[in-house]
C-alpha cells in the first residue's frame, strides 16, 4: 500500500520551474532517499509533501490525505526534520523534548529518547550551547517523540562529523526496522546507499531516476574508478588491457571498469612483473557526480537547454 503518492507534481515561482512533473510513490516501511545537488528541487518537493508549500500543479497524497488539507490527526502520524535546525536557544534539551512530547497521546519517554540519541549528558544544557551535531540529533528526537508512521528528513546529517554520521545512520536504520516509512533528502551518495531501499535522483527539478542502488548502477553501467600514478618512464600504452576505459592526466591514470576486482588483479600482477609501482592507488565507487553526469547525459541529451 502506498503511503506517499505523488503524481505529476510541479512547482513554479514566476517563470522559474523548481519542480517539474515529478511522480513517484513510497510503500509502507520503505526508506527512500531523494538524491540531488543543491537547488535540484529536493527540499521544495519534500516541503510540499509536508504541507508547508503548495504545489503549482499535480497531486500529493500522504497517508491518503492531501497535505494541504490535513489536521491534527495527520500531524500526529507524520513527523518532519527540516533542513535548518530551529529550536529555542534558551530552553534545555529536556525541556524542548518535554514540550514536544506533550503534543501526543503516547509519546516516547523523553529521557529514553535522549539516551538513545546520545544526548543524556546534555539533557540540562541550553539548546544554544549545544554543538551543531547535538542540535541536529535533538531535532531528530523532537520529530520521533510522537512515534510517527512517516518521517521526512531533509538532509539529516549535513554538517556531521563522520562518527556522528555513522551513529545517525545506525539510528535511522533501526527506525526502518520498526516499520517507519522514511523519505530523506541527501546529496551524499554513500548516505543514500547506506540507508535507502530506493533512490530518487533529481536534477534541475526533474526526477531523472527511480530505483535501488543496484538498479541505478546497472543503468549507468556501474563503473568503479581506479586511479594511480605511473612511473615517469612509462605511458598508458604500456598498461595491460582491462575491460574499461582509460584516461590519463599527465602521469595520473584513471580507469573506469565494470569489475574492479579483476582489473586490480591484472594491474597489480602487471606492476609486480614489470618491477614498477602504482603510486597513490585508489579504487572508488562512482561518485554522485559520476551518476549525475551519466544519468543526465543519457536521459536529458534531447532536452538540452530546457532549463537552468
* Region from 90-98, 158-166, 240-248, 274-282 binding another protein, contact rule CB under 8 A: 90-98
Residue 38 binding another protein, by CB under 8 A: no
Contact residue for another protein among 70, 246, 276, 277 (CB under 8 A): 70
- The answer to the question of residue 2 lying near another protein (CB under 8 A) is no
Which residues in the chain belong to E strands, given as ranges?
Answer: 2-13, 16-27, 31-35, 57-62, 78-81, 150-154, 181-186, 198-203, 206-211, 224-229, 245-249, 252-257, 279-284
Residues 115-154 that bind another protein (CB under 8 A): 139, 142, 146
Residues with Cβ within 8 Å of 80's Cβ and at least 6 positions away in sequence, in order, are: 50, 143, 151, 152, 154
Q: How far apart are CA 137 and CA 305, in angstroms?
A: 41
- Name which of 281, 277, 268, 275 is nearest 240 in CA terms: 268
Binding residue (CB under 8 A) for another protein from 86, 236, 280, 293: 86
Residue 114 binds to another protein (criterion: CB under 8 A): no
The span of 27-35, 63-71, 254-262, 272-280 binding another protein (CB under 8 A) equals 63-71
The reply to whether 240 sits near another protein by the rule CB under 8 A is: no
> Among the candidate windows 52-60, 113-121, 193-201, 275-283, which touches another protein by CB under 8 A?
52-60
By CB under 8 A, is residue 270 in contact with another protein? no
Is residue 274 within the footprint of another protein (CB under 8 A)? Answer: no
Which residue in the block uniquely carries the three cell numbers 538540452? 304
Q: 1, 73, 237, 301: which one contacts another protein (CB under 8 A)? A: 73
DSSP state of 128: G
Residue from 14, 15, 38, 106 touching another protein (CB under 8 A): that is 106
Closest CA to 51 of 30, 20, 21, 82: 82
- Identify the CA nearest to 44 among candidates 12, 15, 70, 74: 12
**Within 13 A of 251's CA, how many CA atoms are on the CB side?**
11
Q: Does 105 bind another protein (CB under 8 A)?
A: yes
**Chain residues that interact with another protein, rule: CB under 8 A:** 50-54, 68-73, 75-76, 78-80, 82, 84, 86-88, 90-91, 95, 99-100, 102-106, 139, 142, 146
Amino acid at each position: 500500500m502506498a503511503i506517499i503518492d505523488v503524481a505529476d507534481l510541479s512547482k513554479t515561482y514566476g517563470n522559474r520551474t523548481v519542480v517539474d512533473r515529478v511522480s513517484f510513490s513510497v510503500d509502507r516501511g520503505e526508506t527512500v532517499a531523494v538524491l540531488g545537488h543543491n537547488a535540484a528541487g529536493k527540499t521544495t518537493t519534500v516541503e510540499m509533501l509536508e504541507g508547508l508549500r503548495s504545489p503549482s500543479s499535480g497531486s500529493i497524497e500522504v497517508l491518503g490525505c492531501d497535505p494541504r488539507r490535513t489536521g491534527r490527526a495527520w500531524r500526529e502520524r507524520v513527523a518532519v526534520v527540516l533542513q535548518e535546525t530551529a529550536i529555542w536557544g534558551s530552553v534545555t534539551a529536556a525541556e524542548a523534548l518535554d514540550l514536544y512530547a506533550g503534543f501526543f497521546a503516547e509519546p516516547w519517554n523523553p529521557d529514553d529518547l535522549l539516551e538513545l540519541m546520545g544526548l543524556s549528558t546534555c539533557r540540562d544544557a541550553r539548546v544554544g550551547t549545544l554543538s551543531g551535531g547535538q542540535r541536529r540529533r535533538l531535532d531528530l528526537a523532537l520529530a520521533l517523540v510522537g512515534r510517527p508512521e512517516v518521517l521526512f528528513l531533509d538532509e539529516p546529517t549535513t554538517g556531521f562529523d563522520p562518527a556522528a554520521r555513522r551513529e545517525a545512520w545506525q539510528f535511522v536504520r533501526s527506525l526502518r526496522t520498526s516499520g517507519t516509512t522514511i523519505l530523506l533528502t541527501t546529496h551524499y551518495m554513500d548516505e543514500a546507499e547506506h540507508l535507502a531501499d530506493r533512490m530518487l535522483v533529481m536534477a534541475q527539478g526533474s526526477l531523472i531516476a527511480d530505483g535501488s542502488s543496484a538498479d541505478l548502477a546497472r543503468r549507468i553501467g556501474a563503473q568503479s574508478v581506479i586511479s594511480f600514478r605511473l612511473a615517469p618512464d612509462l605511458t598508458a600504452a604500456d598498461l595491460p588491457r582491462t575491460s574499461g576505459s582509460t584516461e590519463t592526466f599527465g602521469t595520473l591514470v584513471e580507469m573506469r571498469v565494470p569489475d574492479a576486482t579483476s582489473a586490480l588483479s591484472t594491474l597489480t600482477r602487471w606492476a609486480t612483473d614489470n618491477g614498477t609501482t602504482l603510486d597513490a592507488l585508489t579504487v572508488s565507487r562512482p561518485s554522485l557526480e559520476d551518476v549525475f553526469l551519466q544519468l543526465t547525459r543519457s536521459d536529458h541529451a534531447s532536452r538540452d537547454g530546457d532549463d537552468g
